[in-house]
Structure 1
Amino acid sequence: MIQSLSISSRSESLLQTLLNIWETSVRSTHLFLSEKDIADLRPLVLQGLGVIDQLLIYSVNEGNAPLGFMGIQDHKIEMLFISPTAMGQSIGKKLVTHAIDHLNVQSVDVNEQNPRALGFYEHMGFCVVERSPLDEQGTPFPILHMKLR
């Protein structure tokens, strides 16, 4: 089940749950990040979760714990993270398909050092249009800018 949450309906408890999903997901997929990198990103991710325009939560049924989430701003996927225990269950595909079909998502940025994510987004119809040598924090983690074909 995909649920869209307005900014006013995001409780601190939910934000902490989503932050935990982010962290466990990052630890299993972003192997290029150090412990310091993850610690430095935590407050930025928590802040982003609280203010991003559209926050989609995926859970099996209403009332069940979230298994993944997606944040969208200006028709761009800004964050997509799935709990490692739920990876491979098409949750990311369901969220991205929903975002394309109902929210007019057109773009996404992907860490170049995360080939699994790159392959996923290519499979979903995105293609690389540009590369930046630094991420948004100015660290040397190259970013691939992708657009929907």
Structure 2
Amino acid sequence: MGRDIDIRETHGAMEYPQLVRVWRSAVDATHDFLADDHKAEIERRIAADYLPNVAVVVAERGGVVVGFAGTAAGKLEMLFVDAHLHAGFSITGRSSMDDQGWPYPLLHMALGEDGGPPPVRKV
């Protein structure tokens, strides 16, 4: 499997279970502050409420989904990367609450200087 990552539009609702898997991987690795009941509620709502309301692009490597992003009104609303994929990002800031007003911090990130991510092709 090469290092190239392909970026493409989502295939729609049929692909949502794979995106939820990536979300779970990322959240389990990074969101230890998230209460179990909130995590379960968010996970239940991803496919039904959140993904249909954003423009979703998917990152895949070798045909396997490794991340996704959702945008709305010119704003990046979500970005989740499988916990096993290193993409060269570093944390540049943090918010103390999420957009629901829950006390869960959001990380603000930028592409790091440590060699950067693998090449990206838009397909």
Whether these two folds match at TM > 0.5 is yes
Say which of 116, 121, 138 aligns to 2:101: 138
Q: Using a 3 Å threshold, how does the CA distance of structure 1 residues 41 and 11 change in structure 2: closer, same or farther?
A: closer
Q: State the aligned residue count.
A: 103
Task: Using the TM superposition, give the Cα deviation of residue 82 of structure 1 relative to its aligned residue in structure 2, in angstroms.
Answer: 0.6
Distance 2:43 2:8 in 1: 23
Larger proportion of strand: 2
Q: Is the 8 A contact 2:53 2:72 kept in 1?
A: no
| Residue pairs, 1:36-47, within 5 angstroms | 36-46=37-47, 47=49
Larger proportion of helix: 1
Higher relative contact order (CA 8 A, sep 6+): 2
Aligned residues: percent identity?
A: 25
Distance 1:134 1:85 in 2: 26
Distance 1:21 1:142 in 2: 19
Taking structure 1 as the reference length, the TM-score comes to 0.58
Q: Is the 8 A contact 2:67 2:79 kept in 1?
A: yes
- 1:50 alignment partner in structure 2: 52
Q: Using a 3 Å threshold, how does the CA distance of structure 1 residues 68 and 142 change in structure 2: closer, same or farther?
A: closer
Taking structure 2 as the reference length, the TM-score comes to 0.69
Equivalent residue letter for 2:87: Q
Distance 2:20 2:60 in 1: 15
Q: Using a 3 Å threshold, how does the CA distance of structure 1 residues 34 and 74 change in structure 2: closer, same or farther?
A: same
Are residue 21 (structure 1) and residue 22 (structure 2) matched?
yes
Distance 1:75 1:84 in 2: 26
Distance 2:36 2:50 in 1: 20
RMSD between superposed Cα atoms in Å: 2.6
Any gaps of 5 or more consecutive residues in structure 1?
Answer: 94-115
